[in-house]
Structure 1
Amino acid sequence: MAFELDHLFICTAPNAPAAERLLQFGLVEGRANVHAGQGTANRCFFFHNLMLELLWVHNAAEAQSDNTRPTHLWDRWSGLAQGTCPFGICLRPIAGQASSTLPFPNWNYQPAYFPAGVAIPVATNISVLSEPMLFCLPFATRQDSYTEAKAQPLDHAFGLREVTRVSLTLTQSPPRSGELEVLAATNLIAIQTGPTYLMELGFDGETQAQHRDFRPALPLIVHW
């Protein structure tokens, strides 16, 4: 399996006010983006091997356009109060390893903000809104390998460097989609069932036995 985690997203309210909690904790914010033509925008926090993205819809018309509609990003974001899963999981190829097929069946999404011919493989369970969105950036690299022009802040409070554990709590009991089960079998993420959605990130082997819970502002617990 020649893929690893590239970034994770959590759908939030517009402008991601919950990001202020992360800043107060001591995380350093990186560059934000507006996804022109897709209708979404983000605020981002970069670590050595992974990015955490807070994502929202800023243009409903673009998010519901013919091009973007198959991603169900509008349905996922607008349905948060009704119980849609707020999470997304993005993979990237492992540098230096032979390329291989993704662990889940997929289709190519051509974002309006990408050059012609550059696509994002998206898992075919995209319409299962009780599960995270699964996709891949075939051209992505580790965050600590960015060129100087793309470099993002990587130094954070408590010396947090690398995400070494990702655990998601989903509200839907098994059986789950084959695409998600295949990804879980790679051990890149752990999945369990609970009363509310939750993302837990473990840093650097969690050797300090500390944690910070960002609920209710954000369905996130950080362990280090």
Structure 2
Amino acid sequence: MTFEFDHLFICTDIGAAIADRLVEFGLVEGGSRTHTGQGTTNRCFFFHNAMLELLWVHDPAEAQSDLIRPTRLWERWQGRNPSAAGPSELRSALIAGVDRCCPFGICVRPVDRSSDANPAGSEASAFSSWAYKPPYLPESVSIAIATNSDRLTEPMLFQIPLGQRPDRAPAEKVQPLEHRTGWQEITRVEVVSPVVTKPSPELQTLLDAQLVRLRVGTEYCIELGFDGESQDQHLDFRPELPLKLCW
């Protein structure tokens, strides 16, 4: 089975006010969601083949509950920006042995799925994983989270059940896909990391499949390329958001 990029999340400040800058630039915001029981909320931008998600914790108690704690979402969110956080806010990240956590999550999905051969929750995983069953999903459905989830210097890797291209969504789930920028597809996902270590086997799997690129830099950043980047232009949203858009 082959896999493709589904979406990226970036941990942001509460409310993700930076999303307004994306709208001003020419992107059309899609629907948002509160992940009941997980303690997170998002603001999203959809393209023909994938999605950009800005994610924050709205309920610390839920995010630190026994069920959610293994995802390390709380640590990633708290450790996203040490310069803006106090010592108590970084305690969990420091216990994990890092002074800044990678604030990204990368989700993949199968390219082709037969609903008869692979019912929800039973499909093969792109990497070594464990089953995560958040309260907002039906009991029979789980998210495959890569077993490198404790390595907070790497992106959280996961695979969602029943993932599909936004431009193939059923009528009741259609999201705005036409942006003033004219962009249609995300064609490059590159993680810039200040950590120089050998990638985990789970991350290496995505690198080998050319679903994600990785390079060393001075700080965490995600570069998203659109439609082959034929215009050779870019817009950098740092320091407010570790995101660079290239087209």
Could you list the per-position Cα deviations for residues 69-101 of structure 1 after superposition, in whole angstroms to 9, with x for gaps in the alignment? 110101111122241001000011113588773
Equivalent position of 1:194 in the other structure: 217
Equivalent position of 1:178 in the other structure: 201
- Note if 1:22 corresponds to 2:45: no
Equivalent position of 2:104 in the other structure: 87
Q: Which amino acid is the alignment partner of residue 74 of structure 2? A: W
Shift of 1:123: 0.3
Shift of 1:147: 1.2
- Note if 1:48 corresponds to 2:65: no
Shift of 1:157: 2.1
The within-5 A match list for 1:119-198 is 119-198=142-221
Instruction: Call closer, same or farther: CA 1:177–1:96 in 2, change over 3 Å.
Output: closer
Contact 2:141–2:161 (Cα < 8 Å) also in 1: no
Equivalent position of 2:85 in the other structure: none
The within-5 A match list for 1:41-80 is 41-80=41-80
Q: Which amino acid is the alignment partner of residue 43 of structure 1? A: R
Cα separation, 2, equivalents of 1:188 and 1:53: 17
Cα separation, 2, equivalents of 1:74 and 1:24: 30
Q: Give unmatched runs, 5+ long, in structure 1.
A: none
Shift of 1:138: 2.5
Secondary structure at 1:43 match in 2: strand
- Note if 1:8 corresponds to 2:8: yes
TM-score (norm 2): 0.87
| Percent identity of equivalent pairs | 53
Shift of 1:102: 2.6
TM-score (norm 1): 0.96
Q: Which amino acid is the alignment partner of residue 240 of structure 2? A: A
Contact 2:194–2:219 (Cα < 8 Å) also in 1: yes
**Aligned pair count?**
224
Instruction: Indicate the larger mover: 100-109 or 185-194.
Output: 100-109
Shift of 1:49: 0.3
Q: Point out 4+ residue stretches in structure 1 off by more than 2 angstroms.
A: 95-103
Shift of 1:60: 0.2
Q: Which amino acid is the alignment partner of residue 176 of structure 1? A: P
Cα separation, 1, equivalents of 2:53 and 2:112: 22
Q: Give unmatched runs, 5+ long, in structure 2.
A: 83-98
- CA RMSD in angstroms comes to 1.4
